[in-house]
Amino acid sequence: MEDKRIRNLNSFFRHVFGRKVYKVGLWGGFSCPNRDGTLSSEGCAFCNPLSSHPKSFEEGKSITQQLTDGCRYITWRFNVNSFFPYFQDYTTTYGDPAELDALYSEALSYPGVVGLSLCTRPDCLPEPILGYLEDLSRRTFLWVEVGVQTSDDRILRDMNRCHASLDTVNSFNALHARKIFSAAHMIIGYPGSSRETVLADAAFIRETGADGVKLQNLHVVKNTSIEKQFAAGEFELMEMDEYIDMVILFLEHTEPGVVILRLTGEAPDKLTVAPQWSLHKMTILNRIHEEMKLMDTWQGKSLGFSKSAVNLPLENLRTHWRAD
C-alpha cells in the first residue's frame, strides 16, 4: 500500500474526477504589469519568463494546437485521456475579460478537458476579473494559483515584486468569497530567508486558507537580476539537504486538506545557472519522501493532525469547494 504522507495532486484529481488527470502547460501570450512598465520594467528579480515555457511551446501555436500536441503526448506516454490546461506564462488574469474568455473557452472546448488552472499575481484580480472568474468557476473546475513567494515584506521588496503581503491576503479573501479554488506559489531559500521565515510563511498560508501550495527552491536563472547578485557573491544558495529540511518543516505546518502541487522547481538546463541539484527533480522528490519516512512525519503533523488526515475526503476538511 502507498505510504502517503502528503496530499498530492494525483490523489486530489482522483478524488475530484474519479480518474487520472494530467496538467497541460499552455502559453497564452500574456504580459505582466511588473514587466510592461505599469509597476516596473525590470520584472521580479528571479524571473526569466522563458524558463516557464511549456515543453511543447513553439511561437505562433494556437491554444488548440498546443493542446493537441500536449494531450497527444500525455495519452501516448501515460495512457490518460483527461486533461487540466494550465496557463503558465506571465500573469494570466492580466487583460480584458472578453479577451481572456476567448483563450480560456478555446481550452475548455478541447476534448477531455476537465478544468482550468490560471496563474496570477496577488494584485491582478480586480473586480471585473473576479466577477468573470466567478462565472468561469461555475462552468468548470477553476483553480487560480497566486504568486505569493513569501509573506515577508522585506524579501518581497528585494524580489522587486512590487506588491505587499497585504495584497496576498486580499487576493485569497476575494477568491474564496467567490468559492474559487486557490493555490499559493512559494519560494524557499531566497536571500534573507531562514527556518523562521519558512515557519512564518507556513502560518501565513494557513491564514489565507489557500487550497493548494506549490513549493519551489530558489534557482538562479540566466538573464535575471538575481543572476548578477549571485555572480557578485552577494548570497549563497541552499544545499539540497537544507532545502529538503525546509520543505518538510513547511509541510509539517501545513493543514492536511491543502493540495501539494509541487515540491521542487526547475528551469531548463540551458537557462539554469545554479544550483545544479535543482535539475534532478526525481532525486529531490525521493529524498523528501525518504526523509519524511525516516522522521516518521507527514503533512500537518506539527499542527496535531494524524497521518491518515492526508487521505480524508476533501468534504471533511476546510476547502473552497464550489458545490453549486
Binding interface with ligand SF4 (CB under 6 A) = 32, 34-35, 43-44, 47, 49, 90-91, 121, 147
Q: Torsion over CA of 226, 227, 229 and 235, rounded to 10 degrees?
A: 80
Q: Which is nearer to ligand SF4, 82 or 117 (CB)?
A: 117
Min CB(153)–ligand SF4 separation in Å: 16
Min CB(60)–ligand SF4 separation in Å: 21
Q: Which is nearer to ligand SF4, 48 or 66 (CB)?
A: 48
Min CB(171)–ligand SF4 separation in Å: 13
Q: ∠ at Cα 147 (179, 109), nearest 5°?
A: 55
Min CB(196)–ligand SF4 separation in Å: 24
Min CB(78)–ligand SF4 separation in Å: 29
Rounded to whole angstroms, the maximal C-alpha distance in the chain is: 54
How many other β-carbons are positioned within 10 Å of the β-carbon of residue 138?
A: 11
Q: Which is nearer to ligand SF4, 57 or 73 (CB)?
A: 57
Spatial separation of the C-alpha atoms in residues 179 and 312, rounded to whole Å: 21
Min CB(52)–ligand SF4 separation in Å: 8
Q: Which is nearer to ligand SF4, 36 or 106 (CB)?
A: 36
Q: Which is nearer to ligand SF4, 37 or 313 (CB)?
A: 37
The identity of residue 142, as a single letter, is L
Spatial separation of the C-alpha atoms in residues 185 and 149, rounded to whole Å: 6
222-226 CB contacts, 8 Å cutoff, 24+ apart: 222/48, 222/271, 222/272, 222/273, 223/48, 223/50, 223/271, 224/43, 224/45, 224/46, 224/47, 224/48, 225/42, 225/45, 225/160, 226/45, 226/46
Min CB(178)–ligand SF4 separation in Å: 22
β-bridge pairing 272-274 and 220-221: antiparallel
- Smallest CA-to-CA distance from 46 within 299, 274, 310, 305 is with 274
Q: Which is nearer to ligand SF4, 39 or 80 (CB)?
A: 39
Spatial separation of the C-alpha atoms in residues 113 and 95, rounded to whole Å: 23
End-to-end CA distance of the chain: 35
Min CB(177)–ligand SF4 separation in Å: 23
**Helix 240-252 and helix 281-295, axial crossing angle in degrees, nearest 10:** 60
Q: Which is nearer to ligand SF4, 43 or 85 (CB)?
A: 43
Q: Which is nearer to ligand SF4, 125 or 251 (CB)?
A: 125
